[in-house]
Amino acid sequence: MTDRPFCSVVIPAFNEERDIEASLSSLVNQSYPRNRYEIIVVDNGSTDRTSKIASAFADLILSKPDGNVGAVRNFGIDSASGEVIICTDADCVVTQDWIEKGVTLLKKNPNHAFGGGLRPRENARWIEKYWLLNEAGDRVQQRALAGSSIFVWKRDFERLGAFNEEMTSGEDSDLYNRALSNGLKVIINPKLSVTHLGCPETPRDFIKRQIWHSQNYIPDFKNSVKDKVFWLTLLYFGCSTTALCLLFTTNYFPALTILAAGQLPVFILALKRLKRSAWRIKSLNEVIKVLLIDNLYLVGRTIGLLQGVRKTLG
């Protein structure tokens, strides 16, 4: 078994009784030898049956009722015995050879960390389908690490200084940026993608998710200015606000012109996603759905940005 490094799968969980059984079931039925990896669930103060369900599958259940998700992940990693740290979420289902593929990639590629993207569920609703643009499961949208699928040698993780514990979200992207700054190469491989059972299914839930993801724009301003999406969000916010002000003063033509200009970041995001996914548009209806989702994305990001401003100003 010397060629099988011991792995620790660390999973933060908060009120995940709906999905955690499916998630952990997929993890205990891996092609990788079961005695060569451990499953650690860190309960972030759940008030439902999360811990009870997890006890039937996990090797170790820890409790950390306070702290942001980065702190919860770190808490589990501090108790991990593995040479390889694997991160996922309690609402994610993995393929049977997920651990095997991730470890193989690490062994073949020194000084690397690997991540995966998201695959849609079977019979996914339209918002999930046209957000992921990944029906075949062979594409990834993001370039940065996502907490749903991370593989890294523990020695490299410790060298990077662990997850940022102050961020309410985006701790995975922050780790990605520090990895690059410290000479650790990061590759997002579609073979490591997971199915996210908690993917938003309604516009309201999708917006709420983006609000949560963007609340650190202002508190983490130093890194935000390096993020192209941050600037697209500012442009969208500026155009939308200006257009609304002009509408209230009955300056309709300038308002509509500026409102149209505000769609530029929407088109940029949509084209980027379509290019990465190699999605072939089949109808005008699909175009409308893709653009609608990117509008919802920027609406949520704008609200999150404003909440970050409010929080920073106290």
Strand-strand pairing, 112-115 and 185-188: parallel
Q: Note the pLDDT tens digit of each residue in 143-173.
A: 899 999 999 999 999 999 999 999 988 999 9
Local structure of residue 121 (DSSP, 8 states): P
User: Under DSSP, is residue 188 helix (H, G, I), strand (E, B) or coil?
Assistant: strand
Q: Does the pLDDT at position 59 exceed 70?
A: yes
User: Under DSSP, is residue 238 helix (H, G, I), strand (E, B) or coil?
Assistant: helix
- pTM here is 0.90
Q: What residues does CATH 3.90.550.10 cover in the chain?
A: 7-199
- DSSP element (H, E) containing 212: helix 203-214
User: Under DSSP, is residue 9 helix (H, G, I), strand (E, B) or coil?
Assistant: strand
Q: Does the pLDDT at position 28 exceed 60?
A: yes
The percentage of residues in the chain with a pLDDT greater than 70, rounded to a whole number, is 99
Q: Note the pLDDT tens digit of each residue in 224-276.
A: 998 999 999 999 999 999 998 988 888 788 889 998 999 999 999 999 999 99
Q: Does the pLDDT at position 18 exceed 70?
A: yes
**Residue 154, pLDDT score:** 97
Strand-strand pairing, 60-63 and 185-188: unpaired
Helix intervals (H) in the chain: 20-28, 50-54, 69-78, 98-108, 126-132, 154-160, 171-181, 203-214, 221-224, 228-248, 252-261, 264-277, 284-313
Per-residue tokens: 8: 């620790």
| Amino acid type, 279 | W
Mention the CATH class of domain 7-199.
Answer: alpha beta
- The predicted model gives 50-58 an average pLDDT of 97
Chain centre to alpha carbon of residue 53: 24
Report the mean per-residue pLDDT for the chain: 94
Name, in order, each residue with C-beta under 8 angstroms of 71's C-beta and a sequence gap of 6 or more. 64, 163, 165
**Residue 1, pLDDT score:** 45
**How far are the Cα atoms of 27, 50, 61, 76, 142 from residue 56, in angstroms, in the given order?**
12, 11, 10, 18, 33
Q: Note the pLDDT tens digit of each residue in 62-87.
A: 999 999 999 999 999 999 999 999 99
Cα–Cα distance for residue pair 202/107, rounded to 1 Å: 40
Strand partners for 38: 8
CA proximity to 209, closest of 170, 166, 163: 170
